[in-house]
Structure 1
């Protein structure tokens, strides 16, 4: 799947939005990828996950025995990646502000994990998820995401494999370009 093919999947699902968006990081952007919309169609989600698995190096695929994702955004993406890899899927939650495994999910000591996100912007949530995997006894061998919109700046501390890179400028709220400042901001993500 080429980058254009991936973006066509987002456009077909009305998941590539234009406007003024407040990202989970607090930064602002003129474009937003609503992965929940692109993953509404299970067949589309499966296609995207299979395309991403095809890009993973054999040395990653051969050792991963679970996919762990941060809730909420990464849950479906992680489940589809686990299905494509033929391994278990789990997700992290943060009811008290810190990611952790709940619902009876557990990792064996040293279990090798792929951490899966929907979108990476700054990498903060991904790094927090990787830290939670370590606390739970797992070893994150790599991270993956449907979309890297960090403009190449996200350092997750492990090899990172996005399906597509979307280079869209982000701005601090106090440093908006006039055309973006003129549009009311909306917060479309899962975090308030």
Structure 2
């Protein structure tokens, strides 16, 4: 049951994460290329701005689901110790999707989906930070950055040791923060838009 090669699972989870649901849904809706709209991002926030709240929610659900499925498959048929590796692989697939010339989303929703299986307590702690910031600012990017920044801190508190899983979480947090660098630039210039349903 747990004899499947590690690297084959990482390839599978990368490919699963690489499915660009935001791009596909906007295109199928007849709205064109999401990369030419707003921030150019294929994530749920930009999709909602381009195609409406329902399309944004559908994108969010799809991006969450691929994270859930990737880690669930590895935990069930691969090895439970690989769940954070699978999380990283799936998020990397989302961020660097080969189907869009390695320019994908920012990985937040996919990471949240993966954490549903990998560590629900860690997810709940990060979501608390996200919603506190979002309630105060209504800025999705700032809330996501704050939640990503909090992940290693919560991991250090919740996990028994600062082993490989901790450093994988640190890497995931850095990836998400770096992917928000254009948002950080707009935040510093006070040009980042707020979000309302």
- Shorter chain as denominator, the TM-score bin is 0.3 to 0.5
Instruction: Give the structure-1-normalised TM-score.
Output: 0.36
Structure number with higher strand proportion = 1
Structure number with higher helix proportion = 2
Instruction: Give the structure-2-normalised TM-score.
Output: 0.35
